[in-house]
Amino acid sequence: MKFTIQRDQLMNGVQDVMKAISSRTTIPILSGMKMEATAEGIKLTGSDSDISIESFIPKEEDGIVYVEGIEPGSIVLHAKYVPDIVRKLPEQMVEIESDENFNVTVRSGNAEFHLNGQDAQEYPLLPKLHTENSFELPIDLLKDLIRQTAFAVSTSENRPILTGVNIKLEDGKIEFVATDSHRLASRKIPVNGEMKGFPYSNIVIPGKSLNELNKILEDSEDKIMISVTENQILFRTKHLYFLSRLLDGNYPETSRLIPEQSKTNVVIGTKELLNSIDRASLLAKEHRNNVVKLVTKESNQLEITSNSPEVGKVMEEVTADSIEGEELKISFSARYMMDALKAIESEKVSIQFTGAMRPFLIRPADEREEILQLILPVRTY
C-alpha cells in the first residue's frame, strides 16, 4: 500500500473513526485503525463492535485532488498514536507506505515515522447492510432529534433497554423517545410517504451510539440515509458510514405515562425559568437529588426555592406569562428540569401539572414542534 494524501483531509477522517475506537476492547485488533487504499481513495475504519465507523477520503472531489499515487493495499495501525502524529506532521502532503512485513512509514517534510502495523486480514469485516429498508432525514433535523431526547436515557444497566432511544414509525410520523423512568423526552416529526411499509417500525438504538453520531455529524441541511435491519442500523452520508447495533428487547409503552388532563397550566419564558432553576440548585449541587420547589403565587408569580440546611437557602420569584388552574406546590430534580428546558428551543414553554404527585409535562408554548418532556416530581410536601 502506498499513497500521498492531504493532511487536513486525513485528520478529519481519523478524528471521525477514532470515536468508535476504544483502548479497552477485548478484541485486540479493534484497538487499531484500519486503513485501506483503493483506486477510488482511502477508507479508514474504527470499531468497538457496538459502533463501527468508516470514513472515506476520495481520490478527487469537485476538481480538488486529495490523494495521489495510490498503490492499493491495506494495513491496521495502533490507533492511539495516529491522531497526534497526523496533527503534528510538518507539511500538508503526507506519504504513507506499508510493506509486506506490515511496517508502515509516514513521511511529511523531513519527518519520518516508522510504525509497526498489523495484518488487515485480521480485522473483522463490517456487515454490509442491505439498504432497501432505508429512509432519509436532513442531518440538522437528526441532530436535533438526538439532542432533544438522548440525554434522558438511563445510565444504569438495571434495565438495559432503557439505555437506548426508542424510534417508532407510526401514522406517517417518526418519534424518538428516551426515558430513565424518572423522566421522559420525546420528539415526533412528520415523514414523507416513502416510509409506508417500512418493516422495522419500532427499534431501540443505544444512547451512546446516537451521542457519538451527533458529535461526528456537522451541522448541515444535507440528507443522511438511514437503513435498518433486524439488529443493526446504518447512518450514511457521502463519505461516512456509521453502523450501530440495536438493543434487544421490547421498549416499554410510554404513551400511557403521559397524563391526559392537567390541573395547573403555566406559560413562562424558557430562559428565565432555566436561569432561575439553575440558581436555586447552586447550593444543593452535590446532593444526589438536587431538589427545588416550585410554588404558584398571586399575579402570575412562580416562587422557586431550595434549601440546603448546612449552606443556606435560595429563593426567587419569576414572572410567568400566565398561571391557570389550581394552586400548586411541587418539588422536582433541578437537573431534570434544566435538561428538559435546554432541549426546548422555543422562547416560551408551556408546563402542565396534575398535582404535586403526578408527572408533569413541558412543551414548547408555540407547539410548532412536537417536543414533549415529562418529569416525575419528588415527594417532599
Q: Can you give the binding site for its own copies, defined by CB under 8 A?
A: 78, 81, 84-85, 88-90, 104, 110-116, 275-276, 278-279, 282-283, 310-318
Within 8 A by CB and 6+ apart from 380, the residues are 291, 293, 331
Q: Are the CB atoms for 365 and 349 separated by under 8 Å?
A: yes
Between 283 and 356, name the residue whose CB sits nearer to its own copies. Answer: 283
Minimum Å gap between C-beta 258 and its own copies is 32
In the complex, minimum distance from the CB of residue 117 to its own copies, in angstroms, rounded to a whole number: 9
Yes or no: say if 212 and 192 are a contact pair by the CB < 8 Å rule.
Answer: no
Rounded least distance, CB 50 to its own copies, Å? 26
Find the shortest distance in angstroms from Cβ 253 to its own copies.
Answer: 40
| Nearest distance, CB of residue 257 and its own copies, angstroms | 33
Nearer to its own copies, 79 or 184 (CB): 79
For residue 247, give the nearest of 226, 234, 231, 235 by alpha carbon. Answer: 231
Instruction: Measure the CA–CA gap between 78 and 135, rounded to whole angstroms.
Output: 36
Nearer to its own copies, 110 or 192 (CB): 110
Nearer residue to its own copies within complex by CB, 95 or 316: 316
CA distance 350 to 366: 8
Q: Which is nearer to its own copies, 101 or 155 (CB)?
A: 101
In angstroms, give the least distance from the CB of 315 to its own copies.
5
CB of 350 to its own copies, least distance (A): 21
| All residues at 6 or more sequence positions from 158 whose CB lies less than 8 Å from its CB, including other chains | none
For its own copies, the closer CB: 49 or 319: 319
* Cα Rg of the chain, angstroms: 25
> What is the smallest separation between the CB atom of 290 and its own copies, expressed in angstroms?
13
Nearest approach, Cβ of residue 12 and its own copies (Å): 19
The residue written with cell numbers 491495506 in the block is 74
Complex with its own copies: residue 17 or 283, whichever CB lies closer? 283
Burial class (CB in 10 A: 0-12, 13-18, 19+), 200: middle
Give dist(CA 370, CA 366) in Å, integer: 10
Residues contacting 303, CB < 8 A, separation 6+: 293, 294, 295, 296, 297, 315, 316, 317
Nearer to its own copies, 165 or 294 (CB): 294
- Output 4 or 275, the one with its CB closest to its own copies: 275
Instruction: Output the CA angle 99-6-124, nearest 5 degrees.
Output: 50
- Angle formed by the axes of helices 334-342 and 270-280, to 10°? 150
The b-or-e profile of 73-105 (16+ CB within 10 A means b, else e) is bbbbbbbeebeebbeebeeeebbbbbeeeeebe
